[in-house]
Homo-oligomer: A and B are copies of this chain.
Amino acid sequence: MKIYLSGEIHTDWRDEIIAGARDLDLSFTAPVTDHAASDDCGVAILGAEDQKFWHDHKGAKLNAIRTRTAIEAADVVVVRFGEKYRQWNAAFDAGYAAALGKALIVMHGEEHSHALKEVDAAALAVCETPQQVVQILTYVLQGTLPE
């Protein structure tokens, strides 16, 4: 089963999930989480831009080669909304995954529940911690519950 880990890139939640699920038959994909590389990849490879908009645009499109391909290949898409930033790309990925009929798991703190109600409404699970994602994946694969 293929899991795409979308969203917040400033904490190590992906590592926690991957470590916690190490004994399961899963493969994980994710966006590039090196923030500087992700922002500058477009101009670093395709040439500098004077305008910030096109600087960003070239980078966002290069990143889309990775992210769209990975979401389309995934069975389950996990999207985490963190404390900071607007994270519109996380919500965009959730919508993209929902339209493709992917099984969607959304992670966020309770304080964002109202603002994320449309995203949560498209999810098969809404949780708060990486441990819960590991428990979900364990249950989905093995049918066993946490003790």
Contacts and interface: CB of A to CB of B under 8 A. Distances in A.
Interface of A: 1, 32-34, 37-38, 40-41, 44-46, 50-54, 56-69, 72-73, 75-76, 81, 85-101, 103, 105, 112-127, 132, 135-136, 139-141, 143-146
Given A65-B105, A92-B98, A101-B101, 14 more contacts: A45-B125, A46-B125, A60-B118, A62-B140, A64-B103, A64-B121, A67-B118, A69-B75, A69-B76, A73-B75, A87-B88, A89-B117, A92-B118, A96-B98
| 4 tightest Cβ-Cβ pairs between the two chains A and B | A95-B95, A91-B91, A60-B121, A99-B99
B120 A57 contact: yes
**Identical copies of this chain, number:** 8
B89 A118 contact: yes
A113 B55 CA distance: 11
A69 to B, nearest CB: 5
